[in-house]
Amino acid sequence: MEELKELGAVRQGGVHCLTIVGQIEGHQVLPEDAKATKYEHILPLLAAMEESPEIRGVLILLNTMGGDVEAGLAIAEMIAGMKTPTVSLVLGGGHSIGVPLAVAARCSMIAPSAAMTIHPVRLNGVVIGVPQTYNYFARIQDRIVRFVTEHSRISREDYVRLMTNTDELANDVGSILSGEDAVRLGLIDRLGTLSDALDWLHRQGA
């Protein structure tokens, strides 16, 4: 259990709280002043939580700003594969790769004041490349769309439409969903607060 403390898990009774904030740092190293969640720290932490008989529920607090897509998907797959009850709570915002992270939990909640930002996979700046480059990004995008639609109630058509919307974000493609809209479209299970998320875990036996 000491390793859980070292990796930043907060324990209260049978529930452990895991925070995933800022940008998700993967193989691409972020500047020192960027607040980041390092996926190589999160993966063994999730495995340790799953193996611990003392942990009966995991509360995942999310306030993301995008980041490494491959790293974010790796964390999302780990969460989705857990038998331990998991609930995610989006606070502030769930940006880009934060969407798969939110829906990966067994139950997803979003604070009434929070929002979800959906947009296509891209790199900052102008990308000029051979056709293989565009095909690579298309395949990554398809993996994200498939994961989100398989772990939530939103339809593929609605998700792709929101992702490619050109009328909402200035100088960008995509959509910003309020908490209520995210629930209405089936992307997130329900509106909720910290107490709601904890109540759900306690009902699962945590």
Residues designated as active site: 96, 119
Show the beta-strand stretches assigned E in 79-172. Answer: 86-90, 93-95, 107-110, 115-118
Q: How far apart are CA 29 and CA 58, in angstroms?
A: 28
Q: How far apart are CA 161 and CA 18, in angstroms?
A: 31
Task: Tell me if 63 sits within 8 A of 21, measured CB to CB.
Answer: yes
Task: Tell me if 78 sits within 8 A of 46, measured CB to CB.
Answer: yes
Q: How far apart are CA 66 and CA 57, in angstroms?
A: 26
Task: Tell me if 99 sits within 8 A of 44, measured CB to CB.
Answer: no
| Measured CA distances, 93 to 5, 33, 90 (Å) | 26, 20, 6
| H-state helical runs in 58-130 | 69-80, 98-104
Q: How far apart are CA 184 and CA 125, in angstroms?
A: 33
| Length of the chain in terms of residues written | 206
